[in-house]
Structure 1
Amino acid sequence: MSGRYSDHDVEHYDRPRRRTRPRTKERPTYDDAEDALVVTVDRGRFTLLLDGRTVLAMKARPLGRKGVVVGDLVRVVGDTSGDDGSLARIVEVTPRRTVLRRTADDDDPVERVIVANADQLVVVTALADPEPQPRLIDRALVAAYDAGLQPLLCLTKSDLADPETLLATYRSLGVPWLVTRKGGDLDELRGRLAGRTSVLLGSSGVGKSTLVNALVPDAGRDVGRVNAVTGRGRHTSTSAYLLQLPGDVDGPGGGWIVDTPGIRSFGLAHVQPEHLIEAFPDLDEMTEDCPRGCTHGDDEPECGLDEAVREGQADPLRVQSFRRLLEARSESAY
């Protein structure tokens, strides 16, 4: 072979090697990271509460696609002074106690986490203006049971309609409830919220923001009106927001609430029937002899719930109400 190179100069044919330093397997320990609580999320920026001050932060690149949501307990580094123009970095999300999630539709495989580390889901519904939406209430209850949250039904605008009609539907489920009215006393609600982190969930126009402003006077949440033609409310909250209730967190009147945007759809693709019935220990016990794959619905030929009803061991209304929740899960997203 003639020319500049011989047959033995194979290294001259190789692609030039990149002159970069090899990646180290060592990762920062972030021993100096501080603990903070995520208050709200807005377009890739996270508002945190850290030692009583508000801090703006971004997510560190090593977290990748890991989501950070309202209620998360995180560790942050960088400028945590909270001064104008300062920006900290979230480097770690601590394990979550509970996760409230939904999907856009029942056939949507992508789950959307709404809030982390909550204790209670307060389903807010108006008795009139707008009219109650039982299917949406059922779906919210399913999400609460699946997430391991204590549900609470909060009925607003009782000065416009009698709550008994709606309450009769949910008594057999044993769902705690309370009734409020415009300008009424909220001491009972404050008692239910004390010492807990509660998520307020409901459709637009039911009075969530009005309740929040009454519970946290300096919250300043926008209040909307119901459209007289469509009967639906206007979205006034655009993102979930965590607020501290007045008072000592460990004493009377303390706690946290999360005001969420009004919902018009609530997919439950992530909820499995066997997980849902675990929220009803008395009924779950009666399904031990069910055939493999039994969903415990009305169309199951050998479901243990039917046998328990026939033998008088189960309340028929409670079984019917549970199956209504199952049906709500299998229907199209509201």
Structure 2
Amino acid sequence: MSRYDEEAKYDRPRRHTRPRTKDRPAYDDAVEGVVITRDRGRYTCWVGDTSTGHQVTAMKARQLGKQGVIVGDRVKLDGDASGDEGTLARIVGVVPRTTLLRRSADDDDPVERPLVANADQLVIVVAVANPEPRTGLVDRFLVAAYDAGMRPLLCLTKTDLADPDPLLSIYRPLGVESVTTKLGSEPAELREQLNDRTSVLVGHSGVGKSTLVNALIPGAHRATGIVNEVTGRGRHTSTNTVVLRLPDGGWLIDTPGIRSFGLAHVNPDRLINAFPDLAEITADCPRGCTHNETAPDCALDEAIREGRADAARVDSFRRLLASRTEAT
């Protein structure tokens, strides 16, 4: 046997498969839908107009890899998007998000957890009594809303049990709009603020979110609970995030009640941008200024002394800034 025959004996056999290509399908015929809920790898999407559309069950296509798909995402659907029983479409693309509400498990947890995409309003539900309001948690919700570019709205419930004005006075300097509701009454004020918007309801367990949803959307059948008289805490009744259609137009996204809201993902420097009047003043701050109460030579302090800034508004902003790193 020649030397060449000896070498050829150890050559790898040639593959006869077709070479892989980087070209991917364009999915020009894909239809667009909105993810309204997710359960164990299956996504329920709404396709079509708000009032006349239909639900489609879908799964994430393999080519999306680790790309996350969350409630509120606008997605491209390939395959059978008829919504007929037994059909299953594929999510082959995610439309760029306009907003993204996020949180972390704790303030020292670097992993952010996306909650809802493409919502334009964050409705912060707070009970004025039973359970007692937790302003620290409200502050954190506000920070998350400003960071996400969403409009915050305070919704005070159970105002038949206590005067809401002391709580409202805390947030008036921030210019946050608010509505009030009573047990058993029609939430007309809130309904008006929700029309033609995509709104997310957030709040501590037991504040009455599910009760509001049931009043706003007949047939929603969200489970309601009671507040423990000993601990003052509510019981989790909503266990998943779901998008619901409002009768008069718009979408309402109900989230499970929570007791903590980490903000490790929020850059404190971005918070000032939610307050254009104060951001303009801080342009005169020294480099690296934190804008908090102990920051030396902060331009906000000088603006207060000169009457160019409202002291109460600056104090409220600094309270939000402190909530970024303080436990609730």
User: Equivalent residues in 2 for 1:221-300 (5 A)?
Assistant: 221-247=222-248, 254-300=249-295
Matched with 1:29 is 26
- 1:232 and 1:290 map into 2 onto residues whose CA distance is 43
1:202 aligns with 2:203: yes
What is the match of residue 298 of structure 2?
303
Hey, what's the Cα distance between the residues in 1 that align with 2:232 and 2:325?
Answer: 26
Using the TM superposition, give the Cα deviation of residue 109 of structure 1 relative to its aligned residue in structure 2, in angstroms: 1.7
CA shift, 1:225, in A, is: 1.2
Q: Secondary structure at the match of 1:46?
A: strand
1:64 aligned onto 2:59 = no
RMSD: 1.5
Measured in 2, the distance between the counterparts of 1:176 and 1:31 equals: 43
Q: Which amino acid aligns with 2:300?
A: L
SS in structure 2 at match of 1:287:
helix
Change in 2 beyond 3 A, CA 1:22/1:233? same
The amino acid of 2:20's aligned partner reads R
After TM superposition, the score normalised by the length of structure 2 is: 0.95
More deviation, 21-30/206-215? 21-30
- Distance of aligned partners of 1:8 and 1:325 in 2 relative to their CA distance in 1, 3 Å threshold: same
Aligned residue number for residue 46 of structure 1 = 43
Q: How does 1:166-181 map to 2 (within 5 A)?
A: 166-181=167-182
Q: What SS does the aligned partner of 2:239 have?
A: coil
* 1:312 aligned onto 2:307: yes
State the shift of 1:185 in Å: 3.0
Range 5-14 or range 264-273, more displaced: 5-14
User: In the TM superposition, what is the alpha-carbon distance from 1:270 to its structure 2 partner?
Assistant: 1.4
Give distance in 1, aligned partners of 2:261 and 2:8. Answer: 62
Q: Which residue of 1 aligns with 2:81?
A: 80
Distance 2:94 2:61 in 1: 11
Deviation at 1:21, TM superposition (A): 2.8
Which residue identity lines up with residue 78 of structure 1 in the other structure?
Answer: G
Runs (5+) with no aligned partner, structure 1: 248-253
CA distance in 2, matches of 1:327, 1:15: 65
Farther-moved stretch of structure 1 (152-161 vs 74-83): 74-83
Aligned counterpart, 1:250: none
Alpha-carbon distance change, 40 to 10 in structure 1, aligned in 2, over 3 angstroms: same
User: Percent identity among equivalent residues?
Assistant: 65
Give deviations 1:18-72, integer Å, cap 9, x for gaps.
5543211221111111111111111211001113111110000111111111111
- Is 1:330 aligned with 2:325? yes
Cα pair 2:186 2:215 within 8 Å, conserved = no
Task: Indicate the residue corresponding to 2:154 in structure 1.
Answer: 153
1:262-320 C-alpha deviation (Å, 9 max, x unpaired): 11121111111221000001100110011112111112101111111111111111111
Q: How many equivalent residue pairs? A: 324
User: Aligned partners of 2:201, 2:157: CA distance in 1, in Å?
Assistant: 13
In the other structure, the counterpart of 2:183 is 182
TM-score (norm 1): 0.93
CA distance in structure 1 between the partners assigned to 2:165 and 2:257 by the alignment: 24
User: Secondary structure of 2:59's match?
Assistant: strand
Find the aligned partners of 2:111 and 2:64 in 1 and give their Cα distance.
19
2-side partners of 1:123 and 1:19: how far apart? Answer: 61
Q: Distance in 2 between matches of 1:195 and 1:86?
A: 31
* 3-state SS of paired residue (2:35): strand
Instruction: Using the TM superposition, give the Cα deviation of residue 7 of structure 1 relative to its aligned residue in structure 2, in angstroms.
Output: 6.3
Measured against aligned partners, the alpha-carbon deviations of 1:156-181 in whole angstroms (never above 9, x if no partner) come to 00111111121121111111011111
Are the counterparts in 1 of residues 128 and 163 from structure 2 also a CA contact under 8 Å? yes
Kindly tell me: are residues 310 and 26 of structure 1, through their superposed partners in 2, closer, same or farther at Cα, counting changes over 3 Å?
same
Which residue matches 1:109?
110
User: Any conservation in 1 of the 2:37–2:242 contact (CA below 8 Å)?
Assistant: yes
Contact 2:180 2:189 in 1 (8 A): no
Q: Distance in 1 between matches of 2:253 and 2:302?
A: 42
The answer to whether the Cα contact below 8 Å between 2:160 and 2:183 also exists between their aligned partners in 1 is: yes
